[in-house]
Amino acid sequence: MKHSKATWRMLGITTILSSALITTTVAAKAQEVTVGILVPLTGELGEFGQIVADSIELGIAEINDAGGTKCGMIRSVVGDTSGNAEIGLRRATKMIEADGAVALLGPTSSVMVALVDLAKRTKTVVMSPYAGTITLNKLGGDYVYRTVSSDLGDGAASGLWMTDRGYKRVAFLVQNEESTISPAQVARQKVEASNIELTDYVVYNPGQPSYQAELISVLSNEPDAIYLAGGQESGITVIKEAIAGGFTGEWLFTADLAVPEVFNSVGAGLLNGRAFVEYAAADSSLPEFKAFEAMYMAKTGGAPGPFAANSYDMANLIALSLQSADACTGEAINAVLRDVADGGEPVSTFAAGRDALAAGKDINYEGASGDVAFDASGTVAGSYSIQAAKDGAWVDTKFYPASAFE
């Protein structure tokens, strides 16, 4: 079949356009780098998972608005773990193998522990803003990081608060999961080392319709306070049944119960003035936190919840590591991450860090959650907040800086 010159010209133009389209598509793919957001969006920790995901995405949006990293814009892929280690491992494997993620951000304690081998084998950085389990104190380090302190700090803060509060007799109710047993063990040690009598230490399984059997001994021993380390669903059931059973003392909850749902389900009037919650928290007086808080409220319309600042910082740490590294890989991120977090000129935003690196300077990222220098286990020193139930909301009542535990 013969073609006219005009036809050949059109075919040539089409070929050039097709080639250009392919080249543009390849270039576009080369100009982005993938980060996985691996969080519990369903289940007992779903509310926290959403806070973490939103805060990471907020950081990524700010980074991309500033022009992205030298590896390109950051593309996020989101996976729901439901807080389940097996599901988390499957989602993580897909993100690494199919999506090409160089870092995974947001796993809870049980998922984080399950990912240690995968992270080191595939040379993928995994980072969590709330995985406090002390198991990671030994397993963490290269490729495995936390922008929150370990449960050694959580337990110490809880023990310090119970001492400061003047309790004489305390009962422990602990959900049988990694993320709740770990801080409870440390808190128990602190209580037993003080003059506080431990009346009961009860470990219960989540998902039960009732916990009246577990509460019989606890209530009969009439403690001044109950330390409750539990998830939202089971924890709320425990609270309701303890109050119905006649408990009139005070409560100290761990972070999983630092949510409005507690007031909605139990009733604010039953908790106001007698319930407290402890969790790792940023120093709200820091200018870096105030800047993050203003941005968060402008984007979401609400105040940042627990672990929001720690999550935002993870996005910046990964981006600045990509900017500093000699390649766009998890291995390259891991090689420079500690230096970016504790290396030189203080910076608190991606843009400031990028400019300092371009000027040949070493940087020290100090973010919304404060100092994020990693120790040998890939963990930061932490500060803690105690909030009190007041008028159906959690309000700051005591802040323990990291120096309180040195």
pLDDT digits (tens, 9 = 90+) for 220-240: 999 999 999 998 889 999 999
The set of residues, in sequence order, having a beta carbon less than 8 Å from that of 239 and lying 6+ positions away, is 228, 251, 262, 266, 271
Whole-structure pTM value: 0.85
Position 259 in a domain: yes
Spatial separation of the C-alpha atoms in residues 353 and 362, rounded to whole Å: 9
Which pLDDT score is estimated for 30? 45
Taking only the tens place, the pLDDT of each residue in 47-71 is 899 999 999 999 999 999 999 999 9
Is 227 within a domain? Answer: yes
- The reply to whether 270 and 162 lie within a common domain is yes
Q: Are residues 319 and 197 in the same domain?
A: no
User: 170 and 268: one domain?
Assistant: yes
Give the number of domains in the chain. 2
Examine the domain organization and report whether 159 and 129 are in the same domain: no
Which run of H or E residues covers position 49?
Answer: helix 46-65
pLDDT of residue 13: 34
Average pLDDT over the chain reads 90
Q: Domain check: are 353 and 393 in the same one?
A: no
Q: Are residues 259 and 126 in the same domain?
A: no
Task: Give the pLDDT mean for 287-313.
Answer: 94
Grouping H, G, I as helix, E, B as strand and the rest as coil, residue 228 is strand
The parent domain of residue 202 ranges over 152-281+384-405
Each residue of 307-348: pLDDT tens digit?
Answer: 999 999 999 999 999 999 999 999 999 999 999 999 899 999
Q: Tell whether 217 is covered by a domain.
A: yes
In a domain, 199, yes or no: yes
* Residue 37 to residue 77: CA distance in whole angstroms: 6
Q: Would 171 be classed as within a structural domain? A: yes
pLDDT of residue 215: 97
Q: Are residues 349 and 266 in the same domain?
A: no
Q: What is the model's pLDDT at position 153?
A: 87
pLDDT at 15 over 50: no
**Looking at the structure, do residues 289 and 393 belong to the same domain, yes or no?**
no
Instruction: Answer whether residue 54 is part of any domain.
Output: yes
Same-domain pairing of 124 and 54: yes
Residues 188 and 332 in one domain: no
Q: Is residue 14 part of a domain?
A: no
Torsion of CA 67, 73, 77, 78, to 10 degrees: -20
Residues 180 and 222 in one domain: yes
Question: Is 219 found in the same domain as 173?
Answer: yes
* Count of other CB atoms within 10 angstroms of residue 11: 11
Q: How high is the pLDDT of residue 179?
A: 77
- Residue whose tokens read 């963490």: 140
169 occurs within a structural domain: yes
Give just the sign of the alpha carbon dihedral 406, 344, 291, 286: positive
Q: Which of 69-78, 119-128, 262-271 has the lowest mean pLDDT?
A: 262-271
**Which structure tokens are listed for 49?**
């998972």
Q: What is the CATH number of the domain that holds 401?
A: 3.40.50.2300
The CA distance from 168 to 344, in Å, is 47
From CA 325, how far away is CA 15, in angstroms rounded? 38
**Confidence category of residue 27, pLDDT binned at 50, 70, 90:** very low
| Distance from C-alpha of 142 to C-alpha of 126, rounded to nearest angstrom | 9
